[in-house]
Amino acid sequence: MSTDMASTVSECIFCRIAKGEIPVDFVYRDESVVVIRDAAPQAPVHLLVLPVRHIVSAAEVSDPNIWTLIMGRAVETARGMGLDERGFRMVINTGEQGGQTVPHLHLHLLSGRNFSWPPG
Ligand code: AMP
């Protein structure tokens, strides 16, 4: 990850959201994971699932329970919203070439339209 992508926990926007320092309309929130709406939605449903704990990216995950936490929450959220009927996409952009712009691990949950493959 480049120096530009590095950020301290105190200035990390997703840390501040997850800790409730910046008011947002949470789709889901508990002590370890939150689900919020993406500020620039790329689909009719575009949610972000993020661990409260600051982890820079998927490449930095050392505790495998993180995957259960965020993927499990994403699938539960999708089911709860009935998105499983027509389908949804889960994306974790990782690092510069992976297209990650916010250096706090997050999973995009997208639904409500057809998605093409391969991704751009
Ligand atoms: P990525 O490019 O994979 O790192 O995704 C970052 C996502 O966070 C983008 O889709 C942004 O639109 C979204 N985003 C950035 N800041 C905020 C914010 N304050 N609230 C909600 N979504 C945000």
Cα dihedral 75→78→84→85 (10° resolution): 170
Domain range annotation of the chain: 13-111
Ligand 1 atom at minimal distance to the Cα of residue 102? 4
Mean pLDDT of the chain: 94
Distance (angstroms) between ligand 1 centre and the Cα of 12 equals 12
pLDDT at position 7: 57
Q: What is the mean pLDDT of residues 3-14?
A: 71
Pocket lining for ligand 1, CB < 6 angstroms? 13, 36, 38-40, 48, 93, 99-102
Which of 17, 25, 38, 96 for mutating ligand 1's site (highest number of atoms within 8 Å of CB)?
38
Of the candidates 46, 54, 104, 106, the residue annotated as catalytic is 106
Q: Does the domain made of 13-111 have the CATH classification 1.10.760.10?
A: no
Residue 45 has pLDDT above 50, yes or no: yes
- The reply to whether 104 belongs to the active site is no
pTM to 2 decimal places:
0.94
- What is the phi/psi pair of residue 26, to 5°? -70, 135
The stretch 53-81 carries a mean pLDDT of: 98
Per-residue pLDDT of 64-74, as tens digits, reads 999 999 999 99
Write down the residue that tokens 């409260």 correspond to: 52
Mean pLDDT over 13-20 rounds to 96
